[in-house]
Amino acid sequence: MKHKGLVKTHLLLILATFFWGITPLFVKLSLREMDVFPFTFFRLTAALITAAVLVLASRTWKKIEKDDLKLFILVGIFGFFVFQFAFPFGVKYTSVSIAAIIMATLPVNVILITLVTRSEKITGRTAAGLALSVAGVIVITLGSGFSVEGTYFRGVILLFAAEMGFAFYTSRSKPLVGKYSLYQSMFMVILITTIPLFFFTLKDISAVPFKDISLIAWSGVFITGIFGLCLGNIFWYKGIHHLGSTRTSVYANLPPLFGIASGFIFLKESLTIIQAAGAAIIAGGVILANRSKKT
């Protein structure tokens, strides 16, 4: 892969994590006026429509082989769907501090799945970078005021389930994005996720007071659906395709940086020295994990 293309991939991954980092701000706006399940379904629908438009515009659709369809279903149900289903409730039943630390286990989970499936070779430098980025998240959490208040065991279990789901989605998607376009791959995964979620949320959707929901709340749905879910995951797929699932997964620890930055800029929140140090540690871990002799 040419250096220019590699730099572009890294920049797109940073952009993806930026979308994910600012997502909580918009999620809060929407959840003031609608419940978690309807919100999740609506943002998935926005992401699905966006992916469909991208597939049609790029004319990259190709017939899906039977074995690949099975893998799409596995990735969609046991990966993306599990995350979309378990994550909101996991956050609801835990403190922000606990949730942040558990979310930082994604790279570790990806390594475990990769070792079991033997799908990638993990270098010592990559493992060290992943460990460093996780340490950075823990430092930021401690610097933000660690708290276990509001933490329940079921919330912790749900968050770990969510992270294992996203790790499975990350590690098992590589064969698909190597054969089908990023747009088609994303469309299939979101479609497979949206269908069962629709039946889980049908009762809640029918009870939504559409006339009472403001434009601000809907903006949260569309922004998090189009940018956070669709484009963010398409960029994530690009990283998986070119860098592999392990090196890509380390970027999952960048959203706290953007979350802190957005809070500092837009909400006038304070930035402590410990938080800044944690941000530097995460950045160092990302650079270390993605630095190799070849690149």
Give a yes or no: residue 212 inside a domain.
yes
How far from 192 is each of 59, 106, 196, CA to CA, in Å?
A: 21, 22, 7
What does pTM read for this prediction? Answer: 0.79
Please state, in angstroms and rounded to a whole number, the distance separating the CA atoms of residues 242 and 67: 22
Give a yes or no: residue 89 inside a domain.
yes
**pLDDT recorded at residue 293:** 47
- Token couple for 40: 């999740």
User: In which residue are the tokens 């590699």 written?
Assistant: 6
- Token couple for 24: 């909580």
Cβ neighbour number for residue 5 with a 10 Å cutoff: 10
Give a yes or no: residue 32 inside a domain.
yes
How many domains does one find in the chain?
1
Give a yes or no: residue 230 inside a domain.
yes
Q: Which domain holds residue 245?
A: 3-289
Give the H/E segment covering residue 216. Answer: helix 215-223
Give a yes or no: residue 295 inside a domain.
no
pLDDT per residue rounded down to tens, the chain (295 residues): 456 678 899 899 999 988 887 787 788 788 889 998 899 999 999 999 999 999 999 999 999 999 999 999 999 999 999 988 888 777 777 765 566 666 666 777 777 777 666 666 767 777 777 677 777 777 766 666 666 666 677 877 888 888 889 889 988 898 999 899 999 999 999 999 999 999 988 999 999 999 999 999 999 999 999 999 999 999 999 999 888 888 888 887 777 677 666 666 665 656 667 767 777 777 777 777 666 544 4
Give the H/E segment covering residue 111. Answer: helix 106-117
